[in-house]
Amino acid sequence: MNKPVLYIVIPCYIEEEVLPITAPEFKKQIDSMIADELVSKDSKVMFVNDGSRDKTWGIIKDLSKQDPVFKGICLSRNRGHQNALLAGLMEAKELSDITISIDCDGQDDITAMTQMVKEYHNGCEVVYGVRSKRETDTFMKRFTAESFYKLLASMGAEVVFNHADYRLVSSKVLKEFANFKEVNIFLRGMIPLVGFKSTSVYYERHERIAGESHYPLSKMLALAFDGITSLSIKPIRIITGMGIIVAFLSFIMLIYTFIRYFMGATIEGWASTSSIICFLSGIQLISLGVIGEYIGKIYMETKARPRFIISERTDDQE
Ligand code: UDP
Ligand code: MG
């Protein structure tokens, strides 16, 4: 059997402190997998420099000069973690059989890759790395991160709980994923849309080795917002729902004001004014929701996502 070529894809943004520590770890992991005959000798570690202002790119170039196992690509400017990762994966899909994406800060257990590759050999095309514990995260980080997953799930975005972007994806899946042409990307929610056989591998999350997180609360919120709005049009549905409820309430209010009016217990003008306000606000919300529905449809259409994906063909087996 031909052993698969593995590319470990690592986005890096201002990581000059971390790279010299973690790069050898990645190499060690690849060497051990080559020794175990799990992956091909041509497997590589590929760094994506996401427009860092520090010496990150210089370090990557030096690494690749010292050891052919290291490779790198450099983005023209900072485009954010998701875009950097996408760039790396799209580059790697032509050169490899499988890719594993991971952060470069050593927080995710690098040795879990062995298990991921074993799952690939068992027939899985996608293997999600899931954090089993978050004890080393600060309370704030854990709380915000876990609320983030719950919010996403309640909004109908299908994500694996406590899975970030540490995962194995085969090139076969990536080639299909390349047809998802949207600009707002949220990889961990989009990879499940591609389908194929998948599973999860559990690992413990450590503290950052050096440097600091580039995911402050503001970026996390932006990611959550992107995640929801790029995967679902549920927020629009909520407006429609609210409209229906308000219209219904205003209907009851209308009956109530009529009763009060005929009992003669109202101030002049109150009945008509309050009825109009209630009724119109209900109608307005419903209308907004209906307009939103159409915008939602247009939004989904403009993505021009593939409508189906063929995972295998009988012709595949020679
Ligand atoms: N990163 C990136 N571009 C950015 C921000 C972050 O490529 O604009 C990379 C960063 O180098 C790291 C990964 O994304 O490898 C995750 O970032 P970080 O560790 O800061 O986030 P956290 O683990 O705290 O969520
Ligand atoms: Mg990190």
Domains of the chain: 6-232+305-317 (3.90.550.10)
Q: Between 187-194 and 217-231, two packed helices, what is the crossing angle to 10 degrees?
A: 30
Q: What is the pLDDT of residues 229-238, one digit of tens each?
A: 877 778 888 8
Query: Can you tell me which atom of ligand 1 is nearest the CA of 50?
Result: 7
Exposed/middle/buried for residue 84 (C-beta within 10 Å: 0-12, 13-18, 19+): buried
Residue 137 DSSP class: S
Decide if pLDDT at 135 tops 60. Answer: yes
Nearest to 71 by CA among 98, 44, 96, 97: 44
- Mean pLDDT calculated for residue range 137-159: 79
Nearest CA to ligand 1 atom 24: 213
Closest CA relative to residue 43, chosen from 19, 63, 67: 67
Task: Give 303's pLDDT tier (boundaries 50, 70, 90).
Answer: confident
CA 213 to chain centre: 18
Question: What's the pLDDT score for residue 317?
Answer: 64
Share above pLDDT 70 across residues of the chain, in percent, rounded to a whole number: 93
Dist. CA 255–CA 238, nearest whole Å: 26
Give the integer Cα–Cα distance in Å for 205 and 134: 6
- For residue 212, pLDDT over 80 is answered with no
Is it the case that residue 121 has pLDDT exceeding 90?
A: yes
Per-residue pLDDT band at 1 (split at 50, 70, 90): low
pLDDT tens across 75-98, in order? 888 888 988 999 999 999 999 999
Residues for the chain: how many in total? 318
The count of C-alpha atoms lying within 13 angstroms of the C-alpha of 170, restricted to the half-sphere facing its C-beta, is 21
For ligand 1, whether the C-beta of 137 sits within 6 Å is no
pLDDT band (50, 70, 90) for residue 266: low
C-beta neighbour count of 276 within 10 angstroms? 12
pLDDT the model gives residue 164: 86
Among 108-117, 132-141, 219-228, the range scoring the smallest mean pLDDT is 132-141
Provide the percentage of residues in the chain whose pLDDT is more than 90: 34
Cβ(88) to ligand 1 under 6 A? Answer: no
Given this model, what pLDDT does residue 107 score?
85
pLDDT value of position 149: 81
> Is the CB of residue 103 below 6 angstroms from any atom belonging to ligand 1?
yes
Tell me: the pLDDT tens digits for 268-296? 777 778 777 877 887 888 888 888 888 88
Contact 82, 43 (CB under 8 A): no
**Any residues with CB less than 8 A from the CB of 195 and at least 6 apart, and which?**
309, 311
pLDDT recorded at residue 205: 79
Mutational test site, ligand 1, from 214, 215, 219, 221, max ligand atoms within 8 Å of CB: 214
Which phi and psi (to 5°) does residue 209 adopt?
Answer: -70, -45
pLDDT > 60? residue 314: no
Q: Of 137, 139, 141, 120, which is closest to residue 129 (Cα–Cα)?
A: 120
Mean pLDDT of the 256-261 span: 80
pLDDT for 175-191, tens place per residue?
999 988 887 788 888 89
Nearest residue (CA) to ligand 1, atom 13: 103
Q: Is the pLDDT of residue 72 over 60?
A: yes
Out of 89-93, 101-105, 141-145, 208-212, least confident range: 208-212
What is the residue with the minimal CA distance to atom 15 of ligand 1?
A: 103
**Cβ atoms 147, 134 nearer than 8 A:** no
Q: At what angle do helices 187-194 and 81-92 cross, to 10 degrees?
A: 40
Is any atom of ligand 1 closer than 6 Å to the C-beta of 213?
A: yes
Ligand 1 close to Cβ of residue 78 (< 6 A):
yes
Section 31-60 average pLDDT: 91
Nearest CA-CA partner of 284 in 225, 226, 242:
242
Q: Which ligand is nearest to the CA of 104?
A: 1
